[in-house]
Structure formats: structure tokens, C-alpha cells
Amino acid sequence: MSKLVIVGTVAFDAIETPFGKTDRILGGAATFIGLAASQFNIDAVIVSIIGGDFPEEYLDLLSNKNIDLSGVEIVKDGKTFFWKGKYHNDMNSRDTLVTELNVLADFNPVVPEDYRNAEVVMLGNLHPLTQLSVIEQMEVKPKLVILDTMNFWMNNALEDLHKVIKKIDVIAINDEEARQLTKEYSLVVAARKIHEMGPKYVVIKKGEHGAFLFHNDNVFFAPALPLEEVFDPTGAGDTFAGGFAGYLVKTGDFSFENLKKAIIYGSTLASFCVEKFGTERMENLSGEEIHKRLHQFKQLTQFEIELS
Ligand code: AMP
């Protein structure tokens, strides 16, 4: 089976949206990426760190989805990373109220031996040097390295971020981050500048307005499915990335044409994630539901037009 390495946070989240709030629930970028990728029946390992306070039932939830947790370090007397966020009424923007790094402050990722030849590496949002260390541990050059990052690292570790961007194949960031990274307003110009920094493929996510895929002069755009209910956008970006990476691992085809399909899978999975708080919707998502939504996606974007 083809393999995927996922590095990122496994966390406690507390979320407030206009529709309600939660206490500490299961969260973290690697959690959402793993849950989405698990839909593709591939060998996926999470490389992360948690404290002794992390409930066994959350670990069971992930391993029952066949996600390999052998790369998750448990610091018995430490506390798990905690994040608290509050969404504004538009549900597109949010304030971070609390970030407690806890055990993440001393995280030295170790990729399990069996995964050092994985075809795809998904670098979730973390310090760029942590991301770099994962790339350096790979014994066989991966076919595709995908990176997510955020404005925080652009503000605080830009030089290190450039070091890792130089070594990856796909960057997946949102429109604001692309603008900040390049100081360009036009996303087309921003994508070109990011290409020059290293990545062959540039994915720019626009939340409920879909996602772009740039590859040299080729551009592809997928809208997000218009949904009746958006309950909690937390993890949508990571779920998108997990669906994107999972599909590529499954198919083993890293061409532009196939990356277009991966974008559709990523968008489809993300459309489920936002329907409930935290990971709830992703925990019981069936293949049949995904299949149905892919059909809706196709209908949404297909049209016949005669061009002479
Ligand atoms: P997203 O909504 O896709 O941007 O991701 C939300 C997830 O990212 C939450 O589950 C958080 O636990 C996690 N998270 C929040 N802040 C950070 C951070 N500074 N570094 C890593 N992960 C974070």
C-alpha cells in the first residue's frame, strides 16, 4: 500500500461560533488531515506530540480509522497543545483567543522507520524548522511534499519558512497568506512569485469561495459546494489538505490533471467538516455520502456551451 506521512498538531480545541460553543474537544491539524486521508484506505502515519492528559478514547478514534499513531510521542507528565478560537458572524474570519503550546514547545518529530520511504509527505502548519526536519528524515525522496503554513510563521520565522518552501512541491495556503508571502494583491502574480520560491504547484484556498491550483501557466479553479449549514469551519483547511493528499497517495499520479481531481476531493471532504463542531462530522462519514456529494460537485461545475 502507498504511504503518507502527516506531521502536525494533535490537540484540544475550544471553539465558539455564532451557533454555539464547545469545551475542550479533539482537534489539531494532523487530526483533521488524518481523518480526511483515512477515507482513501492508505497507510497514513501521524507524527506529532501529546501530553499524558490526552484521552485514550481520542487515540482509539484515530486508530480505529486505521491511522498509524506510531509517530505520536506521549509526554506522560506534559500537557497537550490547546487552541481556543472564536468565529465572527461571517464565519470566514476568526480570532485566536488562546494558544498554549505545552508539549509542542519541545517537539522534535521522529518519522517512524517504516515510513521513511513514503511517497507523499504532508507538512501541517508548524514551525518551518520542524517541517524541514521531517523532510530531512526521509530516506527515499518523496514523490510529493505538500506544505501548509500560516501568517504567524511569515511574521516570526520568514527566513526558515523560505528554507522549507524551497524544498517542497505543493504549497497550500489561503489567499491572505499568499498575498502576505509575496506582497502582491493579484493571486495570479502571487502564485507566479511563489513558483519562483520553489513549489511546482501552488494551491490558494479561498474558504467558502473555493480554491485555485496553479502550475506554471496552467490554472484550475474549484468552487466550494454551497452549503445550507455551516456550523464550524475549524479544520476545513486541514481536511481539504488531507483529502488532497489522500487522493494523490491512493492514485499515485502526480500530474496536473490528477491534482485537479485531488482539489475536488479535498473540497468535497472539507464541505462535510464544517457541518458539525470539530471532528464530529468526519468521524462517521461514509464513502457513500462522499460519492453523492462528488456527484453534486460535478453538477455544480458542469455546463455545455457551443464554441465555434
Ligand atoms: P484550520 O481551521 O484548518 O486552520 O485548523 C484548525 C486547527 O489548527 C485546530 O484544530 C488547531 O488545534 C490547530 N492550530 C491552531 N493554531 C495552531 C498553531 N499555531 N500551530 C499548529 N496548529 C494550530
Q: Is the CB of 207 under 6 A from ligand 1?
A: no
The x, y and z cell numbers of residue 260, run together, are 485537479
The average confidence (pLDDT) of the chain is: 96
Question: Which of 6, 7, 9 best tests ligand 1's pocket when mutated (most atoms within 8 Å of CB)?
Answer: 9
Q: Is the CB of 92 under 6 A from ligand 1?
A: no
CB within 8 A of 129, min separation 6: which ones?
157, 160, 163, 164
DSSP 278: T
Q: How far is the CA of 305 from the centre of ligand 1 (A)?
A: 42
DSSP 1: -
pLDDT tens-digit series, residues 223-275? 988 888 889 999 999 999 999 999 999 999 999 999 999 999 999 999 999 99
Q: Whose CA is nearest to atom 9 of ligand 1?
A: 28
Q: Is the CB of 13 under 6 A from ligand 1?
A: yes
The answer, yes or no, to whether residue 54 has pLDDT greater than 90, is yes
Q: Whose CA is nearest to atom 14 of ligand 1?
A: 28
pLDDT for residue 308? 80
pLDDT for residue 78? 98
Catalytic residue among 68, 148, 232, 238: 238
The answer, yes or no, to whether residue 93 has pLDDT greater than 90, is no
Q: Is the CB of 237 under 6 A from ligand 1?
A: yes
pLDDT for residue 76? 97
Would you call 202 helix, strand, or coil by DSSP?
Answer: strand
Q: Whose CA is nearest to atom 5 of ligand 1?
A: 235
Q: How far is the CA of 262 from the centre of ligand 1 (A)?
A: 22
Q: Is the CB of 85 under 6 A from ligand 1?
A: no
Q: How far is 62 from 228, CA to CA, in rounded Å?
A: 28
pLDDT tens-digit series, residues 158-173? 999 999 999 999 999 9
The answer, yes or no, to whether residue 18 has pLDDT greater than 80, is yes
The torsion angles phi and psi of 293, rounded to 5 degrees, stand at -70, -30
Q: How far is 65 from 284, CA to CA, in rounded Å?
A: 10
DSSP H helical ranges for the chain:
29-37, 56-63, 128-137, 151-156, 158-165, 175-182, 187-197, 236-251, 256-273, 280-283, 287-301
DSSP conformation letters of 109-131: ----GGGTT-SEEEE-SS-HHHH
The x, y and z cell numbers of residue 78, run together, are 506534559
Judge whether 40 and 20 are in contact, CB under 8 Å.
Answer: no
pLDDT for residue 207? 85
Could you give the strand order of the β-sheet that contains 3-7, starting from the edge strand earlier in sequence?
Answer: 67-75, 43-51, 3-7, 120-123, 144-147, 170-174, 201-205, 211-215, 218-222
Judge whether 212 and 187 are in contact, CB under 8 Å.
Answer: yes
Question: Which of 125, 208, 232, 274 best tests ligand 1's pocket when mutated (most atoms within 8 Å of CB)?
Answer: 125
The answer, yes or no, to whether residue 90 has pLDDT greater than 90, is no
pLDDT tens-digit series, residues 102-157? 999 999 999 999 999 999 999 999 999 999 999 999 999 999 999 999 998 999 99
The answer, yes or no, to whether residue 1 has pLDDT greater than 90, is no
Q: How far is the CA of 28 from the centre of ligand 1 (A)?
A: 6
